[in-house]
A and B are shown apart, each in its own frame.
Chain A
Amino acid sequence: MKLKLKNVFLAYFLVSIAGLLYALVQLGQPCDRRPPLRGGAEQLRQKELRISQLQADLRRPPPAPAQPPEPEALPTIYVVTPPYARLVQKAELVRVAPTLSLVPRLHWLLVEDAEGPTPLVSGLLAASGLLFTHLAVVTPQAQRLRGGEPGWGRPRAVEQRNRELDWLRGGGGAVGGEKDPPPPGTRGVVYFADDDNTYSRELFEEMRWTRGVSVWPVGLVGGLRFQGPRVQDGRVVGFHTAWEPNRPFPVDMGGFAVALSLLLAKPSARFDATAPRGHLESSLLSRLVDPKDLEPRAANCTRVLVWHTRTGEPEMKQEAQLERQGRGSDPAVEV
């Protein structure tokens, strides 16, 4: 059979076209078609594994939150308050007691400026539910305010605070409550808290672990919104105060706490009744610590957790008028 040339060319053309089309189809296809298929399956398997892990985590109970230490393991905070007789005395103690009651492991040391324990303070302490020690010592005549002297003319409650320090050091003399001083080795911190200041609960936890002397700002004192240490790199480098900034320790009585161990190690450290105005705190602290060793609290002394509030003297004009008429309020009603 004779093969026509045109049929040969036609066949050649068709085969070439087919080959060209095949080549065009192959363009753009991934070279390694089989590995992505394997990778996709692997990814899917990995994701399924992760989902089952997460589901198992959800079914597992959450870890218990860190428990606060048992109260018995906490250092004791000894709060020294020197109340004195005045119209608002009971109100002030009634107002500060609930705050102290919120603080675990707290021992309230009250030392009255009186010959002996007064029924008002004794009754209040008994009803407070707090662990307390009740002492009483009269301010010596030389330390009392003279007639016409302003209230800030002399340092107040020096004798009372020193008596508390003596009790802590084993001196005895308690007239009510817990009479035995803390046994040797007791972990604790001592804080001097006047009854008219305002204390947050947080303040007491800040001071609890004091190793030497800790400090923090005090609000509404020294003619300022707040007064307190200046801290740099976690160390006290100065004090933020406008009144007598050159004092060795220009802090308020409510602005520091002292470790009990330090007080016991330095038995001669006491408040000095002859200290000039504003230097009472320094008279004690300068015998205990160097300013550079102070431990800043309250977020490096940037938070105010205690305020030097002062209660106004109640207006008694009508009472005086009635008393002149022999019709004063029933004195048997304790206010």
Chain B
Amino acid sequence: MGWRAAPAAPCLACPAHSRAFLPTAAAAQLTRSCGPSQPWRCRSGGTSSRLCSSCSPGRCWSPCGTRAPSRPCSPRARMTVVTPGARRPLARTPGSTACLTGTSWRCRPVQKAELTRLANTLLHVPNLHWLVVEDAPRRTPLTARLLRDTGLNYTHLHVETPRNYKLRGDARDPRIPRGTMQRNLALRWLREAFPRNSSQPGVVYFADDDNTYSLELFEEMRSTRRVSVWPVAFVGGLRYEAPRVNGAGKVVGWKTVFDPHRPFAIDMAGFAVNLRLILQRSQAYFKLRGVKGGYQESSLLRELVTLSDLEPKAANCTKILVWHTRTEKPVLVNEGKKGFTDPTVEI
């Protein structure tokens, strides 16, 4: 597959080669960005079939998720994978409601560890379907293998976030909506998997891989009729953020310090949506462009529900059942430039 310069996008200088190109739209599936300073593939004239993500002379390594990664990917490296339209019927116990949990992945050294411990939690939740959406140009073998070995009911999707929207600088920059395209793909998959007037009972929950979820949380959300909400620990610089619930059991505001005037001042892990509502409001998606930090949740929820329609869970939002934990980036200083450990050993 050939490469050409994309006229509307900048080309990056590559020290070892004469030119560096952004891939064509068709070839975008093959690229990945790994490495701290050279996110794009280089070519040295003619068609290159080697997936080299470093342009420095004498240094080239395989992207994350391929058979022989020769160095760990930087935090900015992303992976997206698209399943071939597989639509699995939800396994469900008659009369119960299925939980559909969407998780977006990106390549990083702790990926397999995060995936493993989240899967170990989800294994305890009955009638659950896990939608895993990788930020990558293809399904990675690591994730595919792990999902298969969990025994969970799952769907493995991928979509790569375009360069314009990728993380830059600080990974915690709230201005950049990480995972938005992936969550939107999950919403689209649901709308394609189920007819608009489907009677399939289900609840959709967006679960990032580094948070901590109690088993009780999933049972709390299962009874969601429209949109349910609950507190989340360790967000907004507080011990917890929570909806403010009045004596009548109605949500009337938000206990938060960070921008409390947001329409829905809630973390992604603090709400769940009934599947029927997702299907009925087929135009409701997370907004991708022009979203201020902390407003991504509102960009979806305002298309679905009003404040007064929110259903408080977790004992009227007084119990913490989910924690916004963050896994520290591992210090791999002893790997050195050439790598110390066997790259074929998957971590």
Contacts and interface: CB of A to CB of B under 8 A. Distances in A.
Interface of A: 87-88, 90-92, 94-96, 98-99, 101-102, 198-201, 217, 219-220, 222-226, 240, 242-243, 302-304, 307-312, 314-319, 321-322, 328-330, 333-335
A102 B347 contact: no
B335 A223 contact: yes
B258 A87 contact: no
B123 A102 contact: yes
B236 A318 contact: yes
Contact of B110 (A92, A224, A242, A309): A309
Contacts of A309: 110, 113-114, 327-328, 330
Given A95-B117, A310-B327, A315-B237, A242 B340 contact: yes
Interface in B286-335: 318-320, 323-328, 330-335
A316 B327 contact: no
A334 B320 contact: yes
B234 A304 contact: no
Contact of A311 (B237, B318, B326): B326
Chain B interface, DSSP helix/strand/loop, else mixed: loop
18 contacts: A87-B239, A90-B320, A91-B323, A95-B325, A99-B120, A198-B113, A198-B114, A223-B332, A225-B340, A225-B341, A225-B347, A304-B345, A309-B330, A314-B233, A319-B238, A321-B257, A333-B231, A335-B240
Contacts of B328: 309-312
A222 B257 contact: no
Nearest to B237: A318
Given A101-B124, A220-B110, A316-B238, A225 B335 contact: yes
Nearest to B258: A318
B332 A225 contact: yes
A330 B245 CA distance: 14
Interface size class of B (residues with CB under 8 A): 35 or more
B215 to A, nearest CB: 7
Contacts of A303: 345-346
Interface of B: 72, 109-110, 112-114, 116-117, 120-121, 123-124, 212-215, 231, 233-234, 236-240, 255, 257-258, 318-320, 323-328, 330-335, 340-342, 345-347
Nearest to A301: B345
A335 B323 contact: yes
Contacts of B231: 333
Contacts of B334: 222-224, 242-243
Contact of B72 (A87, A88, A225, A314): A225
Nearest to A328: B239
Nearest to B317: A333
Given A90-B323, A220-B330, 7 more contacts: A200-B116, A201-B120, A220-B109, A226-B347, A309-B327, A312-B328, A316-B239
Contacts of B319: 333
Which 10 residue pairs of A and B lie closest in terms of their CB atoms, listed nearest first? Answer: A318-B237, A223-B334, A242-B334, A307-B113, A314-B234, A91-B323, A220-B330, A198-B113, A318-B257, A99-B120
Contacts of B112: 219, 304, 307
Contact of A98 (B120, B330, B347): B120
B221 to A, nearest CB: 16
B213 to A, nearest CB: 8
A201 B124 CA distance: 13
Contacts of B335: 223-225
Contacts of B346: 303-304
Contacts of B330: 220, 308-310
Contacts of B325: 88, 91, 95, 311-312, 314
B238 A88 contact: no
A52 to B, nearest CB: 40
A316 B235 CA distance: 9
B212 A91 contact: yes
A253 B325 CA distance: 23
A214 to B, nearest CB: 18
Given A225-B109, A316-B239, A307 B320 contact: no
Nearest to B233: A335
Contact of A224 (B236, B323, B332): B332
Contact of B341 (A90, A240, A334): A240
A98 B125 CA distance: 10
A87 B213 CA distance: 16
